[in-house]
Amino acid sequence: MLDLKFIRDNLDAVKANIAARNMQADADLVARLYDERNTLLRELEQLRAQRNHNAKKMKAKPSDDERAGLIEEGKRLKSEIPERERRLEELEQSLYAEAEKIPNMAHPDAPVGDDDGANREIKQVGVLPDFTFPSQDHIAIGENLELLDFERATKVSGTKFYYLKNQAVLLEFGLIRYALDILARKGFRLMITPDIARESVVGGIGFNPRGPESNLYTLEDEGTCLVGTAEITLGGYYADEIVPVEELPILMAGVSHCFRREAGAAGQFSKGLYRVHQFTKVEMFVICTPEVSEQHHEQLREIEEEIFSGLEIPYRVVDTATGDLGAPAYRKYDLEAWMPGRGEHGGWGEITSASNCTDYQARRLGVRYKSESGNRHVHMLNGTAIAISRAIIALLENYQQADGSVRIPRSLVPYVGFEQIGPRNE
């Protein structure tokens, strides 16, 4: 959530940002409710001060006439104060409900556009494969090599679920350990996080826990959700705490399952492992002071690049357009891997993202640190180290061989124990 005073004092900029992000929010209403709240707070303070003054006079043994007047005044204050407090509670509920609809301000260099079609390519890394044989997509490769089973997963769990089998199981665990080793060397605290979070934490991070537009699974009558990313559980780790400034920056890496409804996701680019209801991910999360958050954002992107450069998978880096940012993000970089099975001639598919959310999430979650000028909200950043399902897509499709086998990149061989995946009958 943006600072309420900032919204009121920068209305034109806030409204322009809402429009650039292609979102619906009423900044004018927030500013009006904010002023009404402040006026009501001042009135309440005055009434409470009068009540205290009245009580002091009563203790000073007033005359009978004075005492009668003080009693009447006390009755009036006793009636007015609870009524104003009730009105304040209602007003603040409306204020925060409307304020939470307003997205974070976007970085001035973020490309302006309604969707990912306006993303700006920053660079490409690696050489695209030039197959001398008809290439296949990861679905055909995975089924031919007995690595994936979508049909039985649909029978058991429904569409957009899958079984990983045989070497694909080792591939998942190998990719997790490969990423964790890199992150451990860079000072990240390694964590396995809960797969369930309270709705208050989910909302604090900026996800919608309920309603038809929510992408999360809600556990009925529990007030909790299955997490869509460890960003939620890592971000909530320090909720309602004041973090000692000497502990900053805090670097955390969380392994979790991720559950997403993906309602309405369809089309050829959503087939197979690309959009599924459950997958495993290693997530990076940074808590730092505002002065260094942009520096940490660049570092998260560099780590993502190091991971996929080490796997020798061709990728490109894009600066995400305002309309595709998501409400909490100030700026977001995506890594898109080359996926030869994507479309008729191959294409780029998102494999990681790195977002600087500034103090937007910290305000909702109440995470602060002590500074010379008082308690300030921290900045929070997140980045995908590796999303296993999409990494497997890129590996199978880029490393496929003419005989139908799949070669394993050199950096991953020590983690999986084999150099190639061939047919099971070999």
Could you give the residue numbers annotated as active site? 260, 275, 350, 353, 390
Q: How far apart are CA 55 and CA 278, in angstroms?
A: 62
The contacts of residue 167 (CB under 8 Å, 6+ apart) are 145, 147, 416, 418, 421
Q: How far apart are CA 26 and CA 5, in angstroms?
A: 15
Which residue is listed with tokens 């050199």? 410
CA distances to 127, 289, 393 from 407, rounded to whole Å, are 16, 44, 13
Q: How far apart are CA 387 and CA 66, in angstroms?
A: 75
Q: How far apart are CA 351 and CA 349, in angstroms?
A: 6
The contacts of residue 209 (CB under 8 Å, 6+ apart) are 199, 202, 203, 216, 218, 225
Asked if 317 and 352 count as a contact pair (C-beta separation under 8 A), the reply is no
Neighbours of 408 (CB within 10 A): 21
Helix residue ranges per DSSP H, 60-166: 64-99, 138-144, 150-156
SS3 217: coil
Neighbours of 197 (CB within 10 A): 26
Q: For residue 252, which phi and psi values (nearest 5 degrees)?
A: -125, 145
Q: Residue 113 corresponds to which tokens in the numbers above?
A: 């556009």
The contacts of residue 181 (CB under 8 Å, 6+ apart) are none
Q: Which of 198, 190, 174 is nearest to 408 (CA)?
A: 174
The contacts found for 56-65 with CB under 8 angstroms, 24 or more apart, are none
Pairing status of strand 250-259 against strand 189-192: parallel
The contacts of residue 245 (CB under 8 Å, 6+ apart) are 289, 369, 370, 371
Q: Residue 304 corresponds to which tokens in the numbers above?
A: 């993502």
Residues forming a β-bridge with 415: none
